[in-house]
Structure 1
Amino acid sequence: MSILNILIEIELKLKQYKVQFIFLFLFWFAGFSVFLVIEPNHTFWEYVLFSLTVRRPENAGDFTNFYSLVWPILLEVIVFGFIMGELLEKYNPIITSRILSKHKRNHTVVIGFHHLTERIIEHCIAYKESFCIIEDHEELVEDLINLGCPVVVGDPTETINLGFASVGRAKEVFIGIDDARIALICTEKIRKVNNKCPIYVRAFEDHVQDYLKQPPLNAISFSTSKWAMDGIQKWIKGKKGNVVVIGRDSLTHRIAYNVSLQPDREVFLFDDEHDGIEFSVNDRLHFVEEFARYLSDLQAHVNLEEVTQAFICWKRDSEFDESLYLTSKLRLRYPHIEIFVRIFDEELVDLVENYKAKTFSTSSNAFKKLQELVPPFSAIAPKFDD
């Protein structure tokens, strides 16, 4: 255990026993003051010894006897209780992680724990780069907390949590939250306390990106869906036939919209959470507000014999089973359809490719693109062995 961690743990324990230690000091000071009055003609150090019950004055009265009885009890309960707690108790890991963050200097701050920011954290850990992360949902960062990483669990828009993350002393900040409102609030608050560090903000809408780039924010905004779409364009360019797109996020909507701009192609977008998309809907884009888990869910709305491409873009890890099942059924019943499956774990590539489907990872591609934006001093700057 490092000296810093030991000091942090002692600080935690002192905070837990703050009230008890204050009461102990006041009791001692009161006893010291009373001995000054009732036992005159003694030296200063004798009064100290009296108040610590190391020595008793001659002809001790009732107060001395009472004080000599109570003081050892308080000393044992508070001081020795603190020492034993320091040796035996397991500290609250959330508080420990927060204090670790507070002591950071010239570090990388990551806000939000999702697929892209998870790759940033993994890179920092692998190359021993100093970092801390703010995440509102404890269950997402539970493993990092148990590993003793600097984590602030709480709302990133609250000034106190940004303070715990030491954003004022950070060398760079990465904001990977989907919510534009939260991203804007965080950027504005961070810029007020740190006007030098680069702030990288994930933002979908063009007007949000333009606002972030303007003074005084001067943030570096990017869209992971735009980056991903650059690679997907080669799969849809010059193709014929109808397309099925399944998913809920901005990348899913962007794929459906871009394909619908191609002549003589019909697009069927299955999104069970939204009732529209961020783009202008044309006559060739058909929106289906349903969860497409089985072939029958698709067949109820589209003739799969006329479909030549299918994009399965679910982003939740828990839905990979549905992705794999639908991929297998499409390959078995409609082998003419090109299938593209979004994944976030490279270990799953072989499973998907067993069904002759192509895979793509938006977070992997976005991380590489982000590495191209950062300066050499950045924690995620490409290393020579990358």
Structure 2
Amino acid sequence: MRLLNRRIRIKLRIIVKQNAIAFAIFTGWFALNFIIFLGITKSPVTSLLSLFYFVEYPSLWGHFYPVFSEFVIFGLIFTLITVELFRKYNPKETCRLLAAELKNHIIIISYTNLAKRIKYYLDKKGRNNVIIEEDEKKVEDLIQEEQPLIVDEPADRTAILDARIYDASLVLLTEDDIELLFSTIEEIRELNPRIKIIARCFEDNIAAILEKNFKVETLSTSKFAAARIIEKISAIPSKVTGIAEQQQKKCLIIGLNHVSERVGLQLASIGMNFKIIDIPKYEEEGLQSGLKEHIISGDPRDSAFLLSIGIEDFDIIVMTLNDIRYIMLTLSTIRELNKECRIITRVFSDDLAKVLARPPFDAITISSTKEALDYLIQKKVL
């Protein structure tokens, strides 16, 4: 209800601001005519009655005034207001003004899958929050719903100020973009040196710099995902038992990224046989892999490629990509060629998780963003 009241108040403010000329004409017309009627009638009461059409004063101006007002002045004002409303009203401005009215709120920078989960949780709890996102397409739904939102570059000082950084209780950076992280955090720290900042960061060495120099708590969704994947791999029984049980499992990891790198290093440490399929289309910029001897390049949607690497011999398939269409096509092809393998896949949608958990996929699904949200809730920062 409070948000609705704020929206109405802000819209009225926008209407007045955008139609200042029309309102000036309206006010000026009545003020001028009150003076004219007062000069003719010498009576303030009669002047007011004539001004607001309760009586028609028997004079040339008294007959002219109501006709001219109705057909010309009110027509002009109505036209100005309606044209300006349709031409100028921008819901993004309402979203930005709503953001500027918040206090003791959480600022979420970048509208990622993690940000969506966090916002959904905060909205359910009734916690004020504002999103800063540069890509308008990503937040079209929020714009239509007129949620507190700033469509602007997160590192821009104006955007941060409009998000009321001085009155916020927490900033969450949910995009793992090193340049964006440093530029945004530097601006935030200049404006509010004491505010708590939690930043998503995949690389441990970068995380150490952020924690030491900027007093930023870091969060790695890839670390959460890798830990869960290793846990699931360990729980899958091998074809043999005993001391070499884990080593006898054969694992295929699809996608070369921070998650697969973390998982691969863990598997290498216990001597498990594994391969990572590098798909150039989904390469993560700046990733320097230390597992080059385990990496192969190809398209896992291609049956011929999968057969060439012996897909039927793998016990475990780990899908680390986040392209839903690619995931579905790849896992469907794998299932046709290897009906016995166990599939572990990352998902970013609860609905997709339900689909992949059922036949023909029968996949074990994990959500690193859900794990990250649970971690933040457990830490009581939300």
Pairwise TM-score range, normalised by the shorter structure:
0.7 to 0.9
**Secondary structure of 1:110 counterpart:** strand
Identity %: 22
Deviation at 1:284, TM superposition (A): 3.5
Label 1:133 to 1:18 Cα distance change in 2 as closer, same or farther (>3 A): same
Listed as ranges, the gaps of 5+ residues in structure 2 are 54-59, 61-65, 235-245
Please name the residue that 1:7 is paired with: 9
Aligned position for 1:312? 319
In structure 1, C-alpha distance between the alignment counterparts of 2:284 and 2:226, rounded to whole Å: 22
The one of 372, 375, 378 equivalent to 1:369 is 375
Match of residue 230 from structure 1: 227
Unaligned segments of structure 1, at least 5 residues:
55-59, 61-67, 379-386
Mapped to 2, the partners of 1:275 and 1:371 lie a distance apart of: 29
Matched, 1:104 2:102: yes
Matched, 1:281 2:290: yes
TM-score, with structure 1 as normaliser:
0.76
> For residue 382 of structure 1, what is the aligned residue in structure 2?
none
Does residue 1:341 correspond to 2:348, yes or no?
A: no
Q: Secondary structure at the match of 1:207?
A: helix
* Counterpart contact for 1:260–1:284, Cα < 8 Å: no
Matches within 5 A, 1:48-127: 75-76=73-74, 79-81=77-79, 91-127=89-125
Supply the distance in 1 between the matched residues of 2:169 and 2:285 (Cα, whole angstroms): 39
Partners of 1:226 and 1:247 in 2: CA distance: 16
For residues 1-386 of structure 1, the aligned pairs below 5 Å read: 2-18=4-20, 75-76=73-74, 79-81=77-79, 91-215=89-213, 217-237=214-234, 238-263=246-271, 265-273=273-281, 274=283, 278-282=287-291, 284-288=293-297, 290-300=298-308, 302-332=309-339, 335=340, 337-353=341-357, 354=359, 355-375=361-381, 378=382
User: How far apart, CA to CA, are the structure 1 residues paired with 2:254 and 2:336?
Assistant: 15
| Distance in 1 (alpha carbons) for counterparts of 2:285 and 2:125 | 42
Q: Which has the higher helix share?
A: 2
Instruction: Label 1:155 to 1:326 Cα distance change in 2 as closer, same or farther (>3 A).
Output: farther
Q: Which amino acid aligns with 1:8?
A: I
Amino acid at match of 2:11: E
Could you say if the C-alpha distance between residues 317 and 140 of structure 1 is closer, same or farther in structure 2, counting changes exceeding 3 Å? farther
| Bigger mean CA deviation after superposition, 152-161 or 259-268 | 259-268
Shift in Å at residue 24 of structure 1? Answer: 8.1
User: What amino acid is the match of 1:343?
Assistant: V
**Equivalent residue letter for 1:7:** R
RMSD of the alignment, in Å? Answer: 4.2
Secondary structure at 2:171 match in 1: strand
Q: So what's the TM-score if we normalise by structure 2?
A: 0.77
